[in-house]
Amino acid sequence: MTGKNLSQDTNKDVPLRNDIHLLGDLLGETLKQFGGRRLFETEERVRALCKQLRTKRAPEIERELRRLLHSLSLDDEIGVIRAFSVYFQLVNIAEQHHRIRRKKHYELHSPEEPQRGSIAATLREIRQDGRVTRRQMQEVIDRLEIIPVMTAHPTEAARRTLLEKHRRIAGLLDESDGKELSARRRTELRARLAAEIESIWQTDEVRQTQLTPLDEVANTLYYFDSTLFEAVPRLMEELGQQLESQFPGVQVGDRAAPLRFGSWVGGDRDGNPNVKPDTTWHTLRLQQRTVLRHYRDAVYALSRRSSESERYSTVSDALLASLDVDAAQLPITAGIVTRQNPEEPYRRKLTYIHARLLNTLERNEDLESALRIETPKHLLSIRPAMPIIEALGGSKSAGKSCYRTGRQLWDDLRLVRDSLREAKSEYAAREVDRLMRQVAVFDLHLATLDIRQHSARHTAALAEITRALGFERDYERMNEEERVAWLTAELTTPRPLVATDARFSEETTETLNVFRVVRRALEEISESAIRSYIVSMTRDASDLLAVLVLAKQAGLTELAIVPLFETIDDLRRAPEVMARLFENPAYGARLESQHRLQEVMIGYSDSSKDGGILTSSWELYKAQERLSGVAHAHAVELRLFHGRGGTVGRGGGPSHEAILAQPRGTVAGRIKITEQGEVVSSKYSLPEIALRSLELTTAAVIRASLPHKEEEEESADRLAHWKTAMERLSEDAFAAYRRIVRETPGFYEYFIQATPVEELQHLRIGSRPAKRKSGSQSIDDLRAIPWVFGWTQSRHLLPGWLAVGTALQNFLAGTRRKNLALLREMYRDWKFFHSAVSNIEMTLAKADFQIARQYAARTEDRDLGKRIFKTLEAEYLLTREMILKITEKRDLLDSAPVLQRSIRVRNPYVDPMSYLQIELLARQRAGKHDDPKLLYAILLTINGIAAGMRNTG
């Protein structure tokens, strides 16, 4: 297998082409070695036929390809699938490395023209624009709050063990870029690359065991360990340096954390029965253990370097005074450092810090026994004495000096840094300052864990409780007005809702125990370990008040309750719901404890599945504007939480452009965004890529929070005209989408038969079921992830474009020329519309209806497949035509040649896996009994196509 044709001969792409060629050659050698020449020749023949089909869609070539694939044994098919799958793994590594190479090129050779989207380029543009004062910039920097939130949503098909191999290959490619390498060294690097590729070939890419929530936690912690710890201080340093360069005097506060991280992994229980209260507890312990080990190692390294002697370096009085306190609190350590380092105060101080970190780690280990749920019967009691809420007591670490807050650790490090600065040891002080930046961001909890649960669970719990209390009309039977009245009264009474000896069902008891675990975590692990409780499918004000009542039962009085508005109808009603909450006296009291900051989450995935991409995008835009207005009217600070997925159909696309496309005034320095599935690995698996990703987000948030020239050009009348047009487009798109997806007979059956979505559950890429209700045949109960993943596998990609063509065609009917000019103006001048059209265009370019036709032709009901495919193909072609009219391009992605070329050269390598998947699915579904090897082959195609298509879910 070679990669000779995967890039044009442009100067900047020559290194990428060379890398792919090298990796392809090494893979070819591996195929011959382990699969034999026959496998290599078969793979090459399949590849050649698929390339010919891309050049000329000839029936005779397609027949030859089918004959060849049909003649293969199942073992041969598995070998071919694996060859293309591994190839794409290597191509993806090479492309990521090339991104790093291009970044370095800008830094080394174009310092006066910084890379587009970087902090340097953005701040320079803002300064040159001349509309932003230093005071305005300082205000934005002071309120800057960027929170990427890691989720366990299952769209990452690659195993962690493979991701680690990918990282080593990227490192070897980086070493190979050296200009002064000897021939011997180049030979050695090539041999090491070959060894990694051999290892990948011999590694099973399909998981053999189902992931548990704690497995997902470990996968997430990998990114913090491998890249994020180091990326954060580098980002802060870059931001500080560029601010000083462009806006002298503007600074990032000493203990400011403009960037911090969140996580849902181990806290998201919506539809996941595997996330229990003890799962959340152990997740928080693992997160704390990870960050403490990093601090321990960093402090040890600093102490090894800090040999400054009192004979040659001055020491601040504050640091000397702290050493006396340390000696009294840590007498054993004091005896050691006094004897070994009598004249080295910095080393002594760092040794004390190290000792406290060890004690804190020991305390973390002791917390393992703090939560025990041995059998289900123990869950049926909510008595305060149950193990889940027992006090610790008797632990080995009790009484030892340790850190209870990140601020305590930061203050100790500050004493060292400030003293070094006073002593003019600036370089040594910088090393301590880097660690302080990490402590400010990661504290003692690493990432703030969000708790998420479906509103129906709280309703069910309160219904059972009110029945037990003898209510004539239990909570479930109350109307909204009655619920709000009762909940408000309950929140103002000091008595507990239920007696200590009350007993409830396992489900209700678990719901109550979650709040107890949250309280325990805030007391025992970190006061910042959990800040938000997210309520999925928020429909009314009572959905949030209900959570406050349940939290009050556990003694939680400061937990922030976050509504999640997901469907089109919910987004439309969100401002009204929040207004009622802001006006509720009990909720108002809770807002005061949160400094009148309200977080609101908006869901991209479910709204897109519910109403289509165009309507979803528009309703999200309007909801943000209206929510911002409601918050302002009630003197509430609003932080929007964007629940975006990896693909356009789930709100994905370039995050930098997406942030800039938000409604004016809604970012205001604050943003929270989910990072899901394969997006996490693509953005954070390599240190330089992680830094670039965080930099793009930070730069975009700063830009979106400040006035700029384009806002002046968007006059109120002009913007109102655009919005009127968008409203009409959205209405037509919504009607067309619902007509196709909801009203077309057999549409759900087509989805099941024309995609591998049913087989996806066997891939074991997540701990959460694909459906909200087991056995349901409703699109409503199907999660957005398998909905998008399935359509991507079969190359339809319809969640990213369906119904857009019909809406645009309707808009252009009649006054065609006038409305076409309007749409082109909107595309040119309105960031929101430009971003929406660009994302739809990218999805259209990735879709392939020649391949999709093959899936449709092999459906169990051929007439159904033919009928629905014809509808979808017509809509696809119409959408393509309309988008090209608006963009005024001859072909899709003409304005993005790099992406256009990447898709074109990838397609011939994805096609073989699609053809094989179609054949294997037909065989699987026609079989009278399960064949594990056949299913395994199908799973390999799913992995391979995911690697080839990149953002799959």
Query: Which residues are known to be catalytic?
Result: 153, 609
Retrieve residue 803's tokens: 């119904």
Burial 195-228 (b: 16+ CB within 10 A, else e): ebbbebbeeebbbeeebebbbbbebbbbbbebbb
**Which of left, alpha, beta for 421 (phi over 0: left; psi -120 to 50: alpha)?**
alpha
| DSSP three-state, residue 306 | coil
| Cβ–Cβ under 8 Å, residues 695 and 118 | yes
Q: State how far the Cα of 860 lies from the Cα of 18, in Å rounded to an integer.
A: 45
**Which of left, alpha, beta for 443 (phi over 0: left; psi -120 to 50: alpha)?**
left
Cα dihedral 472, 535, 765, 24 in deg (nearest 10): 160
DSSP of 750-775: HHHHSSSHHHHGGG---SS-SBSSTT
Taken in order 287, 293, 296, 300, the sign of the CA dihedral is: negative
Residue type, 571: L
Q: State how far the Cα of 185 lies from the Cα of 639, in Å rounded to an integer.
A: 52
Burial label for 380, CB within 10 Å (0-12, 13-18, 19+), is: middle
Q: State how far the Cα of 24 lies from the Cα of 14, in Å rounded to an integer.
A: 15
Q: Which residues pair with 453 in a beta bridge?
A: 535
| Cβ–Cβ under 8 Å, residues 807 and 837 | no
| DSSP annotation of 538 | -
Q: Which residues pair with 536 in a beta bridge?
A: 454
| DSSP three-state, residue 381 | strand
User: Of the candidates 269, 302, 622, which has an alpha carbon nearest to the alpha carbon of residue 435?
Assistant: 302
Q: Which residues pair with 133 in a beta bridge?
A: none
> 379-383: which pairs have CB atoms within 8 A and are 24 or more residues apart?
379/506, 379/509, 379/510, 379/513, 380/503, 380/504, 380/505, 380/506, 380/509, 381/503, 381/509, 382/498, 382/500, 382/502, 382/503, 382/504, 382/509, 382/512, 382/513, 383/500, 383/501
For the chain, the farthest-separated pair of C-alpha atoms sits apart, in whole angstroms, at 91
Computed on alpha carbons and rounded to an integer, the radius of gyration of the chain in Å comes to: 29
